[in-house]
Structure 1
Amino acid sequence: MTNAKANTDTRKTKTSNILLVAGLLLLLALEVFCGYRVDMLSKQQEQLKEDYSAVNNITFGIFSVDQWRDKIVGVVDSQVTEYKMTKKQKKELQTAVEKQLQGLVTKTVAEIDKPQKSLGGKLKKLAFHAVVDVDDIRAQVPGFARTIVTKVNSPTSTKRLKGIVTSKLDQLSLQTYDSTAEAHGALTKYLYHKYQVQDVAQFNKQIDVKAKQMTSLTYQYAYAMFGCVVFALLLWWVLRKYIHLHTTLFLLSLCIAFVLLAVGVTASIIEVDARISSLDFMLLGEKVGFSNQVLFYQNKSIMEIIGVLISQPKPDAIAVGVLLLLFVIILPVLILIATGIHVSGNEKLSQNRVIRYLALESGKWNMADVMVVGILMTYIGLNGILKSQLSGLNLHSTSLNVTTINQTGLQPGYIIFVAYVVYETILKRILKIVAPAKSLSK
């Protein structure tokens, strides 16, 4: 009778273990899928922003000679093409022409009236005063001036003058050349083809729409990951009295922690994005402006930060990168593996000095929690500096308007990494319950 009851209990235990494993594997599969999507969407969003930065970079905008040339030539050409003299301008021009003609008459008469020593000079002077009436010429000056102004404003003369100015502008534009224009043009053409757009306005609009969609999806998958973690913790509360299920539940909980760690170190954690939203001023009565000028853009994950540090030529940067790799990534992975072996392995393997140390005593060397604080402090400091610097660029006057924008922010990868640190801390507390219970069950 006792044996039959024992066999029944064993079958129940196996059945409950199988059901628990099946359920937790589904939960783990969902966690892995959501983590994969977070990582992929994070990288796609980073690529979108990099493409946006390449097209709208300030180097190829405000700092580009070609951009300034095109805008200034466009304004001047528009002024020349649409130019038409007003009545007031005609009157002012006629007055100026009259003044010049009167001055010319005065100068000519004064030249002739100079004392002449030669006989020929005296005869010319006598003939001039006998034939020419200076007062009559002065009286005709307004008519001459009016004729000149009318001739200048005739369609033929206006067209000729505009043609001369336009040709000079074209000549000047050909002489003004930006050495980076060819490379930027090729890059822009490639990106327009990549996103199936025709101009920068369509490109910016499409990037903005896609970026917003990806951000929304990324957070949805991140929240789904948090939901899986919360569900796993609730299972611990529900099954707290079923000691025979604790080992299985703990091992799969460790797998969930590993997924959180993997996504937390590979997905973007911080994005630095500083822009000049708009810069405009008045030139010859027309507004000239630039918009969406990217001053600086960087998007990094923990792995990318470590890679950048290790690739630096400076020994101190390499040392920091190696330490981060060791204590933020490698050691946490080893701790998770050792904890799993300690809980599930046989007595000899569980009590191995290295395994036991990593599982129970190496937490003080785990710098993941320090990394969380370090990233947060870096973000706060960097964001404060950018806000201060960009606010100094904001100018609003009648002649010049400059508006800047700071889109620096923490990314889903950081939130997931924080979730890993919190979850791993909870698992350490659970381990203190699981390990003694396992020993008692044996």
Structure 2
Amino acid sequence: MKTQNLLPKLLLILGLTVLLGLEGFFSWRLHELSAKQETIKLDHSTVNNISYGLLSVDQWRDEVAGIVNRQVKHFQLTSKQKKELQTEVESVLYALINKAEAMVEKKPQSLVGKIRKAAIKTFVKTDKIKAQVPDLARSIITKADNPNQKTKLSNLAMGKFTQLQHTESIDSTLRANHALFDNMYHKYGVHSKEQLNQKLDGLLQAVRVEMYRYCFFMLACILAVLVLWWVLRKRTELHGTLFILSLLFAFVLLAVGLSASMIEVDCRIKTLDFVLLGEHVSFKDQVLFYESKSILGVVEVLVKQPAIDSIAVGILILCFSILFPVMKLSSTGIHLLSKRKLAENRVIKYFAFQSGKWSMADVIVIAILMTYIGLNGLLDKQLAMLNIRGDDLTLITTNNTALQPGYIIFISFVLYGLILSTILKYITPYNAH
């Protein structure tokens, strides 16, 4: 009889140990992928941050310099513009001749001055010079419209932009920016910002797909355990072993739910396009704000704050959302496995059956969901107010705030824990009250 009871128990332990190993592997992969996604997303948000784009002196200098360079090199005068310019140049030349003539007409005080004046009046005929003004003006315009002169003018204009690099404060900022991007290029094996963004987008897509795959694999393992409870509901001799192993699955869920990212806030300017000097200037995916946190990450941030109230909130979350669930799971196992004296211990019974009302795990789930809904709506509304669509200016914002797999796992832990608590009340050999 003992052998008959022992064999099913061994098979149950073996089967659930294998399943627990798979659950552990899936949880480890999910944890690793969550951390990887957070790192890649942080790098992506850094290189696309508005500080290195729309608010970057480097970017503006390159954009404006490129426009000026193209405008000067490819500038073409129309017939109307040439006529207007001809008139302007002629008026300037006439003014110069009149000024020179007025200076000559001044009465000289010295003998040398009188001789110079007589020579100029004898050999220089201002009427003939004035008659040549239209031809001189045309020659000047032709000279200025020459491609070689445009290149020289372009180089002169570009030289002014280059002088910006010699400003100490700007120069130090640009050096820091270049160092940052060089490190990013080296890290991901690319040579430009466009290649870097393509690489990061591809990595994020692949990581996201893998994360949800392992998340659903974990949930499938939990579902298999619950199905096994239904199948073995009448095999009371196996309930103790099955419950202890079920607790281990709960610990795995809790560990991943606490450490994996739960919510991600990502606000950005998707497109900013405007016309400058007749040309379109575009900025894409300018990140305004990005943050991704797990429950443990939130606790760490709060505890490290200098304000007492922040530290207090961090300690409360640590106690009621982390320590209490761990104590509850541990106490249920101790209550079921121990002899009556330890099982009936006040502390053990309290944590096993009554601590649920003090645990804030379910409250955290609802709080995060409500935060997501409220924050998502607020961000959508605020960012929508920035949207502008016009011929000369287009501004489109986007809100990529989303719940992460860590939230799904934590919800699963809360529901699974409630089911185990209910099961314990039915299978405990002692008083559950």
Give me the TM-score of the superposition, normalised by structure 2.
0.90
Question: In structure 1, what is the equivalent of residue 160 of structure 2?
Answer: 168
Maintained 8 Å contact 1:64/1:178: no
Alpha-carbon distance, 1:87 to partner = 3.5
Name the CA shift for 1:279/1:15 in 2 (closer, same or farther; >3 Å): same
User: Is 1:336 aligned to residue 349 of structure 2?
Assistant: no
Opposite residue 40 of structure 2, the aligned amino acid is L
What secondary structure is seen at the aligned counterpart in 2 of 1:276?
strand
Query: For residues 210-221 of structure 1, what are the structure 2 equivalents within 5 Å?
Result: 210-221=203-214
Runs of 4+ residues over 4 Å off in structure 1: 102-114, 120-140, 154-160
User: Is 1:432 aligned to residue 425 of structure 2?
Assistant: yes
Give the alignment partner of residue 31 of structure 2, picking from 23, 34, 39.
39
Give the alignment partner of residue 309 of structure 1, picking from 271, 280, 302.
302
Maintained 8 Å contact 2:65/2:158: no
Indicate the structure (1 or 2) with the bigger Cα radius of gyration: 1
Query: For residues 269-284 of structure 1, what are the structure 2 equivalents within 5 Å?
Result: 269-284=262-277
CA distance in 2, matches of 1:159, 1:216: 52
CA distance in 1, matches of 2:151, 2:221: 76
Question: In structure 2, what is the equivalent of residue 28 of structure 1?
Answer: 20
| Alignment RMSD | 2.9
Question: In structure 2, what is the equivalent of residue 356 of structure 1?
Answer: 349
61-70 vs 135-144, which moves further: 135-144
User: Is 1:196 aligned to residue 194 of structure 2?
Assistant: no
Name the CA shift for 1:100/1:49 in 2 (closer, same or farther; >3 Å): same
Question: In structure 2, what is the equivalent of residue 402 of structure 1?
Answer: 395
Alpha-carbon distance, 1:196 to partner = 0.8
Opposite residue 434 of structure 1, the aligned amino acid is I
Name the CA shift for 1:160/1:57 in 2 (closer, same or farther; >3 Å): closer
Give the alignment partner of residue 243 of structure 1, picking from 226, 236, 261.
236
User: Is 1:233 aligned to residue 223 of structure 2?
Assistant: no
Question: In structure 1, what is the equivalent of residue 411 of structure 2?
Answer: 418
What secondary structure is seen at the aligned counterpart in 1 of 2:305?
coil
CA distance in 2, matches of 1:184, 1:168: 21
Alpha-carbon distance, 1:219 to partner = 0.7
Give the alignment partner of residue 142 of structure 1, picking from 128, 134, 139.
134
Q: Which 5+ residue runs of structure 1 have no aligned equivalent?
A: 1-8
Maintained 8 Å contact 2:72/2:153: no
Q: Which 5+ residue runs of structure 2 have no aligned equivalent?
A: none
CA distance in 2, matches of 1:338, 1:123: 120
Provide, for residues 64-86 of structure 1, a one-character-per-residue CA deviation record: whole Å limited to 9, x for no partner: 21221121112112222333444
Provide, for residues 46-73 of structure 1, a one-character-per-residue CA deviation record: whole Å limited to 9, x for no partner: 0101111221111122112122112111
CA distance in 1, matches of 2:150, 2:354: 91
Opposite residue 374 of structure 1, the aligned amino acid is A
What secondary structure is seen at the aligned counterpart in 2 of 1:275?
strand
Name the CA shift for 1:256/1:127 in 2 (closer, same or farther; >3 Å): closer
Maintained 8 Å contact 1:275/1:296: yes
Opposite residue 47 of structure 1, the aligned amino acid is T
Question: In structure 2, what is the equivalent of residue 179 of structure 1?
Answer: 172
Maintained 8 Å contact 2:273/2:394: yes
Maintained 8 Å contact 1:277/1:293: yes
What secondary structure is seen at the aligned counterpart in 1 of 2:385?
helix
Opposite residue 167 of structure 1, the aligned amino acid is G
CA distance in 1, matches of 2:154, 2:363: 70
Name the CA shift for 1:122/1:336 in 2 (closer, same or farther; >3 Å): closer
Question: In structure 2, what is the equivalent of residue 5 of structure 1?
Answer: none
Opposite residue 213 of structure 2, the aligned amino acid is Q
Question: In structure 1, what is the equivalent of residue 2 of structure 2?
Answer: 10
What secondary structure is seen at the aligned counterpart in 2 of 1:180?
helix
Opposite residue 90 of structure 1, the aligned amino acid is K
Name the CA shift for 1:333/1:187 in 2 (closer, same or farther; >3 Å): same
Alpha-carbon distance, 1:338 to partner = 0.7
Alpha-carbon distance, 1:23 to partner = 1.1
What secondary structure is seen at the aligned counterpart in 1 of 2:280?
strand
Name the CA shift for 1:433/1:94 in 2 (closer, same or farther; >3 Å): same
What secondary structure is seen at the aligned counterpart in 1 of 2:233?
coil
User: Is 1:385 aligned to residue 378 of structure 2?
Assistant: yes
Maintained 8 Å contact 1:257/1:423: yes
What secondary structure is seen at the aligned counterpart in 1 of 2:265?
strand
Provide, for residues 115-145 of structure 1, a one-character-per-residue CA deviation record: whole Å limited to 9, x for no partner: x9x9x99999999999998877655442333
231-240 vs 130-139, which moves further: 130-139
CA distance in 2, matches of 1:25, 1:150: 89
Name the CA shift for 1:428/1:87 in 2 (closer, same or farther; >3 Å): same
Alpha-carbon distance, 1:174 to partner = 3.7
Alpha-carbon distance, 1:178 to partner = 4.9
Give the share of equivalent positions with the same residue, in percent: 49
Alpha-carbon distance, 1:155 to partner = 5.4
Question: In structure 2, what is the equivalent of residue 3 of structure 1?
Answer: none
Equivalent pairs, count: 428
Give the alignment partner of residue 97 of structure 1, picking from 83, 86, 89.
89
What secondary structure is seen at the aligned counterpart in 2 of 1:279?
strand
Maintained 8 Å contact 1:73/1:173: no
Name the CA shift for 1:128/1:76 in 2 (closer, same or farther; >3 Å): closer
Name the CA shift for 1:223/1:94 in 2 (closer, same or farther; >3 Å): same
Give me the TM-score of the superposition, normalised by structure 1.
0.88
Opposite residue 407 of structure 1, the aligned amino acid is N
CA distance in 1, matches of 2:165, 2:249: 62
Maintained 8 Å contact 2:267/2:287: yes
Question: In structure 2, what is the equivalent of residue 6 of structure 1?
Answer: none
CA distance in 1, matches of 2:218, 2:116: 109
CA distance in 2, matches of 1:61, 1:95: 44
Alpha-carbon distance, 1:252 to partner = 0.9
